[in-house]
Amino acid sequence: MTELPPFIPPLLDSHGSWDDFLTRLYAVFKNDFKDHTTVHQALPVRYDTRMLPDGDGKEEGFWHVISRDDNKSRQRLPEYRRAERLPWARPLLEANAAKEVRVFDYDHGSKDKGVRRYVWLHAHDYVLVLIGRTNAFRWITAYHVDSEGHRRDLQTRYNQRIQ
């Protein structure tokens, strides 16, 4: 793996119990997104603030950037590779012209998801997905690109991006 750009902090230490790691994760989320306004290309970035009964008092937007859907159990399961990169999210969103970051819009089609904004730290396989609104962006998810198939799919979207 190539060296991280200077504006990206190190991975969050995932050692210890899940509860300890979750506490550290939520502290990052709270600092970067709850206590401060994160801005992407001059617009604020919002997240899903709903707190569901099984969400442990934490917002849905938080869970979507540290866990993944498990189709079999119909639950969100922790995903350590995604979660340990959470400290990268705010710097990536705010790195407007960094050469290491590919920022592009891709149209998934009106019957599917519509236009999504991708913020991709290409050399480190980390992606943030947003939806543009009139006066803000809504942060949908973030994930670690963990397979060659996912990498090819993302590269295809980049190649077919809205110009």
Domain boundaries, the chain: 18-159
Q: Decide: 69 and 76 in contact? Cβ < 8 Å.
A: yes
E strands along 51-125, which residues?
A: 67-70, 75-78, 101-107, 115-121
pLDDT at 81: 93
Q: What gap in Å lies between CA 13 and CA 157, rounded to an integer? A: 31
Q: For the sheet with 137-144, list strands across it.
A: 39-40, 43-46, 137-144, 126-132, 115-121, 101-107
Q: What is the pLDDT of residues 34-89, one digit of tens each?
A: 999 999 999 999 999 998 877 788 999 999 999 987 777 777 788 999 999 999 99
pTM above 0.85, yes or no: yes
121: which residues sit within 8 A by CB, 6+ positions away? 5, 8, 88, 92, 100, 101, 127
Query: Is 116 a residue whose pLDDT tops 90?
Result: yes
In the predicted structure, residue 110 carries a pLDDT above the cut 80: no
